[in-house]
Structure formats: structure tokens, C-alpha cells
């Protein structure tokens, strides 16, 4: 996996429940996150982890894979977290096995929403090109989410083509998000303990 992983953070002027619902409900998640086209829940584990299958469609190919996640909604410090593992056997996927987390932290002006994750590269040396694009897409999606919850403008209004438009007006921008972990640590250094205990996706450990 990468030396430092991918880290993105933004602050959203919304309630904790609003951010949680928009990110944890699969039907809402795919509306703002360009990394996924479809997320379909399948089964749950005895400890409450949710298994799912995901798709990322492109004009030439659809990548399909398996994932598993578990959320914490009542942490002593008032934050919430969600841990994730994912995998795919698709040889055309630039991302193979991966793991990461979302953190929801109440702050004075809203909710600080952050992620740290890493993955095994599917395209070998080409990951030097893929990884910055994946990080950019994550940040662009986070700002798309922020605009949705703060202004009520539905995320579908902004396609990726808007990222390359130069007309005036508010639109998602990856540059609004933080991209370096606090104290310049690795992206997964602040992962919740639930990530280490999470079973592998696809029904096996």
C-alpha cells in the first residue's frame, strides 16, 4: 500500500445526524461520492458490521467489489466513526484490497468530516498517477457533500464536468478540503480500533 495513504477533511455546517445519514445511507452516499455508482447492502455480522457489494461504472467497464463496514454512534468524546474494508477481483480495477475510516467530529462551526484510507494498487507502477486522482476525487466528493448539506443544492446538479469549468458560481472544489493529516502523520494513524477488528469483505476472515 502507499507510504502515507489518502487523507481528506472538511467542515460542514450541518448537524451530526444530517452528515451521518447522508454518508451512511447507501442510497444517499452514491449521490455525492463519485467513487461509487451503486452500493447494495447484503448481510450483517453478529457484531453489527454490514456487508455490501459496490459498483463503479465507466463508459467502458464496470468495476464490482465487496465491502464491509461498521459504525460507532456513541463514542465517549462525542464523535462518531465508521470503519471500512473493501476488495475486488476485477483485474481492471486500479484499487484492489483497501481499508479506511470516516470520522465525524462536532466543532464550533459544524461537523469536521474526515477520512483516511489506503489500498493495494491494481495497476502497479501506474499508481503514481492513479493515487493523486483518487485523492482528488475524494476531496471533490467531500466538497460536493458539503455544498449539498449547507445549501440544499442536490449533488446530482454537479457532475465531474463542473470540476473543469471556469465560469463563475459556487461548485465543488477539491482545493477547499484539507489533504494532509494532522501533524503530517500517515492517513491511517488515527483509524478507530473497530478497523483492526473488522472481518474481511466477501464473507471470510
Beginning with the edge strand found earlier in the chain, give each strand of the sheet holding 95-107 in spatial order.
Answer: 6-12, 110-121, 95-107, 80-87, 62-72, 50-57, 38-44
- In the chain, the percentage of residues whose pLDDT exceeds 90 is 83
Mean pLDDT of 75-84: 94
Average per-residue pLDDT for the chain: 92
Domain 6-197 part of CATH 3.20.20.450: no
Total-model pTM: 0.93
Contacts of 63 (CB under 8 A, 6+ apart): 55, 56, 88, 90, 92, 93
Q: Where residue 185 falls among pLDDT bands split at 50, 70, 90?
A: confident
- Indicate the domain borders of the chain: 6-197
Q: Where residue 116 falls among pLDDT bands split at 50, 70, 90?
A: very high
The better pLDDT of the pair 93, 163 is held by: 93
Q: What is the pLDDT of residues 4-24, one digit of tens each?
A: 899 999 999 999 999 999 999
Amino acid at each position: 500500500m502507499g507510504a502515507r495513504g489518502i487523507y481528506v477533511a472538511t467542515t460542514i455546517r450541518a448537524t451530526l445526524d444530517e452528515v451521518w445519514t447522508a454518508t451512511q445511507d447507501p442510497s444517499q452516499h452514491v449521490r455525492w461520492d463519485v467513487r461509487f455508482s451503486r452500493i447494495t447492502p447484503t448481510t450483517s455480522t453478529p457484531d453489527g458490521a454490514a456487508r455490501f457489494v459496490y459498483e463503479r461504472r465507466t463508459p467502458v467497464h464496470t468495476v464490482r467489489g465487496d465491502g464491509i463496514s461498521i459504525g460507532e454512534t456513541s463514542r465517549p468524546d462525542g464523535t462518531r466513526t465508521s470503519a471500512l474494508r473493501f476488495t475486488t477481483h476485477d483485474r481492471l480495477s486500479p484499487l484492489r484490497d483497501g481499508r479506511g475510516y470516516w470520522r465525524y467530529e462536532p466543532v464550533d462551526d459544524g461537523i469536521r468530516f474526515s477520512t483516511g484510507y489506503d489500498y493495494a494498487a491494481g495497476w502497479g507502477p501506474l499508481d503514481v498517477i492513479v493515487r493523486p486522482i483518487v485523492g482528488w476525487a475524494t476531496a471533490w466528493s467531500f466538497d460536493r457533500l458539503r455544498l449539498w448539506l449547507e445549501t440544499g443544492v442536490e449533488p446530482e446538479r454537479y457532475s465531474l464536468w463542473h470540476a473543469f469549468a471556469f465560469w463563475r458560481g459556487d461548485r465543488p472544489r477539491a482545493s477547499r478540503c484539507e489533504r494532509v493529516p494532522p501533524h503530517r502523520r500517515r492517513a491511517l494513524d488515527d483509524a478507530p480500533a473497530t478497523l483492526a477488528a473488522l472481518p474481511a469483505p466477501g464473507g471470510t476472515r
